[in-house]
Amino acid sequence: MKTRAALVWEQPGNWQVQEVDLDDPGPTEVLVEMVATGLCHSDDHFVTGDIHVGGLPLVGGHEGSGIVRKVGSEVHDIAEGDHIITSFIPACGKCRWCASGKQNLCDAGAIILQGDQPAGGFRMHADGRDVGTASALGTFAEWQVYDQTSVVKIDPTIPLDVACLVACGVQTGFGSATNAAEVRSGDVVLVIGIGGVGINAVQGAALSGAAHVIAVDLIEQKLDWARQFGATEGFTDIDEAVEFAKSVTNGQGADSAILTAGLVHNDLIGKAYWGIRKAGTVVITGVSPDAEDAPIPGFNAFNMAMFQKRIQGALYGMASPREAMPMLLREYQAGRLKLDELITHRYSLDEINQAYADMKAGKNIRGVVEFQKVAPVEQAAERELASVG
C-alpha cells in the first residue's frame, strides 16, 4: 500500500514528509492505522546525528498509538480493531531479561538502532530504497507495520491521542523517579531538565510523596509547567537548586537527582553527583551523545565508595512496558496521572519540522502529531467547502 511518512535521509538533516510504499505485515507482524505520535527529543538525535543508525533513510518516531487493521498468521493475542501503543524495546518474552521481569532490557532491543524489523528485512520503501525504522517502530507514518513484540494492547476507552504519551515519555520519566531513584515519602528530589520526560519524573516523584520536588531548567516557562505537575520549587541555575536541596536537608544534599535533560553531558552528571547525600542516587535517563567519553568533572571513586553513592542508568523507566503502560493508564483513569495537560501543541505530520523547532525553542512540554489533523491550508479549504455545502 501507499502511505505517508517522515524520513531522515542524511545526518545532520531534516524530516522529509513523503509518500512511501508499505508491505503487508509478515507472519509475526501487525498493520496499524496510526492515530497519534508523540514527538520525543530522542528522535531529534537522528536528525542532528548525535545518535548513529545502521543506515538511511530512516522513518522516525517511537511514541505512537493506533488501531490494528491486519494481523499476520502467527499473531494470536492481537486482533483487528485492537487499540495499541508502541514499545521502543521489543519484548520477546523468552530471554533472560524478559523472564526476570525486565522487559525493558530484552535482548531483542539490540537491534533498535539497526533499522530492520525484529523478524528481519524492511517493510517500508521509498524512492527505490529500503527504509529503516527508528527503534524497530517508525511511528512518524500514517500507516505502519510493527512486530507483535513491539506493541502493547490497551483499554480501548482511553483516548489514543493521549495514550501515545505513555509509550515513551511518561513511562521513562515516571519510572526514573519511582523505580530508578526509588523516591519515597518525604524525599528531596532534583529533576534536572524539564521536557517530555522530566515533567513525568516530576509527576512520579510527587505521586510518590516527595516533600520537595525541585525542578531545574534554563527556561522559566518550563518551571511553571513543572509546578503544575507537582514541583515544589523551580530554579534556572543548577548550583542554586543544589544549594536549596542542601538547605532543606541539614547540608546533606538531595536524596536523588534525576537527569532528564535532552542532552546529558558529563559536566551535568558531576553537578548532580555533588548535589546528593550519602547513599543517594544520581539517575541518568537523558540521552548523551553516543561518542562522548569526557571525564565527569569532580568525580571521585574514593568519595563514591566512602559516601556509598549510586549512579544509576535508567532505560524506559526501568520497567517492563507490558506492566508499566497499563498501570500508568489506570493512574490516568483514576485522575492521579496527568496526560491531557502534557500536550501543549498538536501538529499535522507535515508540520513535523516546525514541531521540533518549537520543542527546541522550549515552547512545548510535549508536541503530538495527530494523523487525522490536516495542515492549516487544507483546514481552510475544508471550511470553505463546508460553508459552500
Distance CA 352, CA 347 (A): 7
Stretch that binds Zn ion, among 160-168, 185-193, 249-257, 275-283 (CB under 5 A): 160-168
| Closer to Zn ion by Cβ: residue 42 or 148 | 42
Residue 57 or 60: the one with the smaller Cβ distance to Zn ion is 60
325 binds Zn ion (CB under 5 A): no
By beta-carbon proximity to Zn ion, the closer residue of 8 and 98 is 98
Binding status of residue 327 toward Zn ion by CB under 5 A: no
- DSSP string covering 33-88: EEEEEE--HHHHHHHHTSS--SSSSEE----EEEEEEEE-TT--S--TT-EEEE-S
Cell of 345: 501543541
How far is it, in rounded angstroms, from Cα 14 to Cα 8?
Answer: 6
Range in contact with Zn ion (rule: CB under 5 A) among 164-172, 206-214, 263-271, 324-332: 164-172
d(CA 304, CA 297): 13
Interface with Zn ion, residue 17, by CB under 5 A = no
- CB of 303: closest distance to Zn ion in angstroms? 33
- How many residues at the interface with Zn ion, by CB under 5 A? 7
Q: Count other Cβ atoms within 10 Å, centred on residue 229.
A: 26
Binding mask 93-122 vs Zn ion (x if CB under 5 A, - otherwise)? --x--x-------x----------------
**Minimum gap (Å) between residue 172 Cβ and Zn ion:** 6
Q: What is the largest CA-CA distance in the chain?
A: 76
**C-beta of residue 234 within 8 angstroms of C-beta of residue 224:** yes
Contacts with Zn ion in 166-225 (CB under 5 A)? 168
Name the nearest CA neighbour of 177 among 334, 314, 342.
314
CB of 161 to Zn ion, least distance (A): 17
Grid-cell match 558529563, residue found: 266
- Number of other residues whose CB lies within 10 A of the CB of residue 237: 10
Q: How far is the CB of 373 from Zn ion (least distance, A)?
A: 21
Considering only the stretches 35-43, 120-128, 177-185, 240-248, report the one whose residues sit in contact with Zn ion under the rule CB under 5 A: 35-43
Q: How far is the CB of 335 from Zn ion (least distance, A)?
A: 25
- Applying the rule CB under 5 A, the residues between 38 and 97 that interact with Zn ion are 40, 42, 92, 95
Angle, to 10 degrees, between the axis of helix 41-48 and the axis of helix 352-360? 100
Binding site for Zn ion (CB under 5 A): 40, 42, 92, 95, 98, 106, 168
